[in-house]
Structure 1
Amino acid sequence: MNAARAAAATAAAELAAQRADVTIRELHGLDEMHEACRVLDRIWRPDPGNPLITPELLRVFAHSGSYVVGVERDGRTIGFCLGFLASAGLHSHIAGVDDGVRGRNVGFAVKQHQRAWALARDLTTITWTFDPLISRNAYFNLAKLGAVPSEYLADFYGTMRDEVNAGTETDRLMVRWELTGAHAVASAAGTPRTITVDDAGARAVVGLDAKPDGSPVVGRRDGDTVLVRIPAEAEELRRTDPPLARAWRYALREVLGGLMAEGHTVTGFTRDGWYVIDRHQETQA
């Protein structure tokens, strides 16, 4: 283990938790696992007959050395995260915080704690998946943390019966977070990986955009850089206009999924909702 690196990560994690006004700790007891499941139920609101995970399984994960943590504020559990060992290092399977504390850097504190936990165990990569249509998650994962998409997974989980995912196909982006890389180190110091559309250059093309009515329109994919827009509030679209939400799902799968399947690299996500894909290597070959 690189002791200095692990110590720096721990210090960054402690500062992030302090700034978010939370305590993050590993869970062990069965009562704690029941409370963790109640948190998950509040966030995802699953079908009672189809829980996201059971307390008994969480206890097995914790006892066998997996990453099982709760997030507390003022003596109340407001968040939870589960990660387990995988071929790449640590795979972060599920993480969530109560709606009332979103946007207050709690998620950032959890990821910094997870990074420190992994580095203390000589794990240098964390992977996880997220819905590529959710703009705030894309910005958090790719810009604020500096993770890099590695694979587009169409309808990865199949039909899910919780209120968050109901009625939509479960496309996901798999991302890799290289914990000792420059972007993760900068993230720990509070420096996001910022990128703008203007950075794309003169040979950029728009591969996916929105029409004036808000519907998606597929464009070109033959530039050095391809810009791919997503709607600002896809979750709201699912509730108010399910056909339009599905249209965006299929268009993003075609364009972003297609480009990634061809081996092109997602280099970032802009604050105003664009994926930036680099095609320079193919153009120069």
Structure 2
Amino acid sequence: MIQCKELKTMAEMEQMQELEGRIWGMATIPTHQTLTAVKNGGIMVGAYADDQLVGFSYGFAGFDNGKSYLCSHMLGMDQAYRSQGIGKMLKQKQREIAIRKGYDMMKWTYDPLETRNAYLNLTKLNGMCNTYIENCYGNMQDGFNKGLPSDRFEIHWHLKSPHVMEQQSVNTENATALNTLPFNQEGLPVFTKEKEPLELTEYSYSVRVPKDFQGLKAASQELAMDWRLKTRELFQNLFEAGYAAIRLAPYENYGEYIFVKKDILDLGGK
């Protein structure tokens, strides 16, 4: 059985650091920093299988335009425990603690071409995104990110809003497709844009992305870069037109993002 709890001690920070190193294989956050953060408005949540730490979510206090929020910086999982719903458990526990501490907003970033993360952040947690950050972390050298610009979606999770708490019903059927995803002779997905609309005015739009972007990148760095740059343009155009990403539907060979106007979402105090 998996149990999630808030982590507060130096020993727990050391457990998190060891797991972080195994997951990403890069330099880890110093324990003195994580311990100081959790003593000053930050939140570290751990997922345990028996007495073994198998996942964590780490966030620290953020501040923008006179408003505080929780910046949820990292979510990591031991490879053997992925796809078991633990990510959602960690985020929900983090949300519970954040509300108790006085937060009503949580923000974090993820690669929009990683469909597993998109499904968790948008479909399962009812987050939303209308912010695209080009090369957010610069040229990263870890196995997940090496070789491509580290573009990111910034998720805004309105912790006490009807959109999150009541799973606000939004009609996402019959979304207008902005691209297709045919496969080439090597069986790899190719970005193909539909005829570009003069204006983005429909109720909803869809954008298809590869289901296994890491596999695509391993097979063809050139094709992966093409997906990065072409989806970057499409996503930025949608956000500039007032749309927000609210869902990712998983299919056998691809994921399909759904975008609607942000102003139809019940986000509470906007």
Question: TM class, shorter-chain normalised?
Answer: 0.7 to 0.9
TM-score by length of 1: 0.80
Query: C-alpha distance in 2, partners of 1:278/1:165?
Result: 29
Structure 2 match to 1:207: 178
Q: Does 1:43 align with 2:14?
A: no
Read off the aligned partner of 1:200 and give its amino acid letter.
Answer: N
Aligned identity (percent) is: 27
Which of 97, 120, 136 is the aligned partner of 2:77?
A: 97
Taking a change above 3 Å as real, the CA distance of residues 139 and 280 of structure 1, as seen in their structure-2 partners, is closer
Gaps of 5+ in 1: 1-20
State how far apart, in whole Å, the 2-side matches of 1:279 and 1:113 are: 29
2:29 to 53, 59, 76: 53
Contact 2:178 2:205 in 1 (8 A): yes
The yes-or-no answer on 1:146 pairing with 2:121 is: no
Of 239, 257, 264 in structure 2, the residue corresponding to residue 260 of structure 1 is: 239
Contact kept in structure 2, 1:143 and 1:194, CA below 8 Å = no
Give me the whole-angstrom Cα distance separating, in 2, the residues matched to 1:194 and 1:135: 21
Please list, as runs of the form range in 1=range in 2, the aligned pairs for 1:74-113 lying within 5 A after superposition. 74-87=50-63, 88-113=68-93
Give the residue type in structure 1 aligned to 2:38. Answer: A
CA–CA distance in structure 1, aligned partners of residues 84 and 72 of structure 2: 21
Match of 1:179 among 142, 146, 159: 159
What is aligned with 2:226?
247
Q: Tell me the SS of whatever aligns to 1:25.
A: strand
Which letter does structure 2 place at the counterpart of 1:208? N
Quick one: distance in 2 between partners of 1:280 and 1:150? Answer: 8
Residues 52, 247 of structure 1: CA spacing in aligned structure 2 closer, same or farther, 3 A cutoff?
Answer: farther
Answer whether contact 2:136 2:152 (CA < 8 A) is retained. Answer: yes
From the superposition, tell whether residues 212 and 195 of structure 1 become closer, same or farther in structure 2 (CA, over 3 Å).
Answer: farther
Q: Using the alignment, how far apart are the partners of 1:260 and 1:267 within structure 2?
A: 12
Q: What is the CA–CA distance in structure 2 between the aligned matches of 1:279 and 1:195, rounded to whole Å?
A: 12
Alignment partners' CA distance in 1, 2:85 and 2:103: 24
**Are residues 172 and 195 of structure 1, via their aligned partners in 2, closer, same or farther at CA, if it must alter by over 3 Å?**
farther
| 2:143 alignment partner, SS class | coil
Distance in 1 of aligned mates of 2:163 and 2:259: 17
CA–CA separation in structure 1 for the residues paired with 2:41 and 2:247: 33
Secondary structure at the counterpart of residue 133 of structure 1: coil
Matched AA of 1:220: K
TM-score, structure 2 normalization = 0.84
Q: Name the structure where helix makes up a greater proportion of residues.
A: 1
Matched residue SS, 2:23 = helix
Structure 2: unaligned runs, 5 residues or longer: 264-270
CA separation in 2, counterparts of 1:26 and 1:267? Answer: 28
SS of corresponding position for 1:270: strand
- 1:237 corresponds, among 194, 197, 216, to 216
The structural deviation recorded for 1:194 is 8.5
Distance 1:268 1:115, change over 3 A: same
**CA distance in 1: counterparts of 2:131 and 2:95, whole angstroms:** 21
Over the aligned positions, Cα root-mean-square deviation in angstroms equals: 2.2
Q: Check whether the contact 1:43–1:98 (CA below 8 A) recurs between aligned residues.
A: yes
Q: Partners in 2 of 1:259 and 1:250 — Cα distance?
A: 15
> Aligned equivalents of 1:184 and 1:61: distance in 2?
26
Q: C-alpha distance in 1, partners of 2:258/2:58?
A: 30
| Amino acid in the other structure paired with 2:59 | G
